[in-house]
């Protein structure tokens, strides 16, 4: 199943990285599920999407048992559908951060975010009506489209380092929502809540991965203080030194 593994590796790379909102990751998973649906129908023996398997068959003249492959692929498809079922149910909620203008409040799950449903409905209606604010999300979708073009180009050329240098999608989305006035407090609360769904999980998992690397067997000793210092070095946090220095009291000479 080399061909399928290659597809899985490509999906894995797309799901990695900091600053990817949950809705974008769900889109990648849904796309892969649809690919699996096509892969399952390999009984025709054309092997259009299995280049390595087709090459092996052509070179060896072996008879390929496509039925067994189809069963494995169907099991994989069912596994994906089961694992990501809750995300599929909340698809409208996850997509709200980039598509609030076309969102129906009845399709949004606000229960985890402790939001007043009535205020949310009124604020969202106001947001959709006023061009001054709604145009920000039209511009946002345009910027995200340009970003996706760059991303696809780098993936096609296997430029993984350049892929990491692309501006973070999360930062663009946060900037658009942060520009709204506080009269849209409930709408913004929902957007910020959705934005943190994956970001917080990624930060925690990355911290544990870094910790496992730091706590290597070749270390003679490792104190809690040293571990804390090493973890700080692995963070991407950049302190605002100017702001911090302004908050410190200057030491006058005596």
Calculate the alpha carbon distances from 101 to 33, 71, 80, 121, 130 in Å: 28, 42, 30, 12, 11
Are 37 and 134 in the same domain? no
> How many domains does the chain fold into?
2
Whole-angstrom Cα distance, residue 37 to residue 42? 10
Q: At what angle do helices 131-156 and 169-178 cross, to 10 degrees?
A: 180
The pair of structure tokens assigned to 252 is 């006058």
Q: Is there a domain that residue 237 lies in?
A: no
Are 81 and 151 in the same domain? no
- Residue written as token pair 């402790």: 114
Whole-angstrom Cα distance, residue 147 to residue 141? 10
Q: At what angle do helices 185-214 and 224-233 cross, to 10 degrees?
A: 120
- DSSP 8-state secondary structure symbol assigned to residue 18: T
Are 188 and 72 in the same domain? no
pLDDT at 212: 81
Note down pLDDT in tens along the chain; length 254 residues: 677 888 888 888 777 767 678 888 888 888 888 888 888 776 556 777 778 777 877 778 877 777 778 888 888 888 988 888 888 888 889 889 998 999 888 888 888 888 999 999 999 999 999 999 999 999 998 998 888 898 888 878 888 778 777 877 888 898 999 999 999 999 999 999 888 876 656 777 777 888 888 887 777 777 888 888 888 877 777 777 888 887 776 666 55
Structural contact between residues 200 and 51, judged by C-beta atoms closer than 8 angstroms: no
Q: Is there a domain that residue 238 lies in?
A: no
pLDDT at 137: 92
Q: Is there a domain that residue 248 lies in?
A: no
Domain of residue 161, residue span: 99-232
Report which of 144, 143, 162, 142 is spatially closest to residue 154, judged by C-alpha positions: 162
Are 16 and 110 in the same domain? no
Q: Is there a domain that residue 240 lies in?
A: no
* Non-local CB neighbours of 15 within 8 Å, separated by 6+ positions: 25, 28, 29
Q: Is there a domain that residue 201 lies in?
A: yes
Are 75 and 132 in the same domain? no
DSSP letter for each residue of the chain:
-HHHHHHHHHHHHHH-STT--HHHHHHHHHHHHHHHHHHHTGGGS--TT-HHHHHHHHHH-PPP-HHHHHHHHHHHHHHHHHHTHHHHHTHHHHHTTT-GGG--GGG---GGGT--HHHHHHHHHHHHH-HHHHHHHHHHHHHHHHHHHHHHHHHHTT-HHHHHTSPPHHHHHHHHHHTS-GGGHHHHHHHHHHHHHHHHHHHHHHHHHHHHHHS-TT-S---HHHHHHHHHHT------HHHHHHTSPP----
Q: Is there a domain that residue 251 lies in?
A: no
């Amino acid at each position: 199943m080399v061909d399928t593994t290659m597809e899985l590796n490509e999906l894995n790379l797309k799901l990695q990285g900091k600053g990817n909102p949950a809705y974008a990751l769900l889109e990648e998973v849904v796309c892969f599920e649809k690919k699996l649906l096509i892969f399952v129908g390999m009984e025709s023996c054309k092997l259009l999407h299995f280049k390595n398997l087709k090459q092996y068959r052509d070179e060896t003249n072996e008879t390929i048992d496509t039925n067994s492959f189809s069963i494995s692929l169907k099991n994989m498809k069912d596994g994906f559908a089961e694992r990501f079922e809750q995300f599929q149910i909340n698809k409208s909620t996850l997509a709200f951060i980039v598509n609030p203008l076309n969102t129906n409040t009845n399709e949004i799950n606000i229960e985890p975010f402790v939001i007043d449903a009535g205020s949310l409905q009124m604020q969202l209606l106001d947001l959709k009506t006023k061009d001054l604010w709604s145009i920000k999300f039209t511009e946002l979708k345009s910027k995200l489209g340009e970003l996706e073009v760059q991303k696809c180009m780098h993936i096609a050329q296997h430029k993984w380092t350049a892929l990491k240098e692309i501006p973070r999608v999360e930062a663009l989305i946060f900037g658009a929502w942060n520009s709204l006035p506080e009269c849209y407090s409930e709408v913004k609360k929902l957007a910020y809540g959705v934005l943190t769904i994956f970001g917080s999980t990624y930060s925690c998992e990355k911290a544990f991965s870094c910790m496992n690397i730091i706590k290597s067997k070749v270390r003679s000793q490792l104190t809690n203080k040293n571990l804390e210092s090493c973890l700080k070095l692995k963070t991407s946090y950049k302190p605002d030194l100017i702001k911090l220095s302004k908050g410190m009291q200057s030491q006058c000479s005596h």
